[in-house]
Amino acid sequence: MDRPVSALHLSASGMRAQSERLRHTAENIANADTPGYRRKLVTFEEAIRFGRPSGEVDASRLRLDQRELPRLYDPSHPMADADGYYLGSNVDLVIEIADSREAGRSYEANLKMFEQTRQMGASLLDLLRR
């Protein structure tokens, strides 16, 4: 018999996935000015447990943004080529801040669901004790 996945497991998996996303957006923001840095991308997929979909969410393998890196002109930069250009970062701060806010709000929604499920379980136990 299959054991149903509890709401606690679902919301906890969502919090884990969103915290991973927040970590990578923070890394992207921190490295926005690092020459040659490629933006890290996180996507989500349904978790597979024992060969079956579980309803939980997992962060997939980390991918790097393959968009072309911008060429910046600064002949005094140590990484500049003979023409005075070096490769910059393909991180867009506006996108990263928006992704960070979205991940934070999704994390908070999962946390509220976790807390409400826990409170409902505690209330049920109180009712059963009476």
| Domain regions of the chain by residue span | 7-129
Bigger pLDDT: 38 vs 7:
38
For residues 114 and 129, what is the distance between their CA atoms, to the nearest angstrom?
Answer: 23
pLDDT one-digit tens code per residue, 74-109: 999 999 999 999 999 999 999 999 999 999 999 999
For residues 59 and 29, what is the distance between their CA atoms, to the nearest angstrom?
Answer: 19
How far from 38 is each of 35, 85, 110, CA to CA, in Å? 9, 17, 29
Model-level pTM greater than 0.75? yes
pLDDT one-digit tens code per residue, 106-115: 999 999 999 9
